[in-house]
Amino acid sequence: MTLHPKTLTDMALAPVAAEIDLNLQRLRDKSPADIDYELGLALDRPLHENTREERADHVLLMALRNVERHGWQAAITEDGSRLHLSGGSVTLDLGLGDTVMRYIEGGKTAAPRAETAVA
């Protein structure tokens, strides 16, 4: 089933999501320490309390940097794994990636992901 835009806001979803995803690519596949450094450099705003909420806010600010949202609202999900876009007739979740999720949860010293054994 093909979804067709129902509002003008819906027509802007693809370019908004693509721009946000391009911004998130700068953070994906980096270590939590490198994510912390990249956020500090790009936002020119150090973490004050280094809480989970503040780290999620910084990731969100980076994701939305220089993006014209055309009425779409964005938020990091409670589990810290996705960026949720809402405001049109549909919603969309963009995956943040494993290291970004671990950074939100544990900061720049977050433990590396446990390697899975291959049988």
The DSSP line for 38-91 is HHHHHH----SS--HHHHHHHHHHHHTTT---TT-EEEE-TTSSEEEEESSSS-
Each residue of 91-115: pLDDT tens digit? 999 999 999 999 999 999 887 666 6
Domain of residue 63 covers 8-109
Q: Is residue 116 part of a domain?
A: no
Q: Is residue 115 part of a domain?
A: no
Q: Is residue 119 part of a domain?
A: no
Q: Is residue 114 part of a domain?
A: no
Work out how many domains the chain is built from and give that number: 1
Each residue of 28-67: pLDDT tens digit? 999 999 999 999 999 998 899 999 999 999 999 999 999 9
Q: Is residue 49 part of a domain?
A: yes
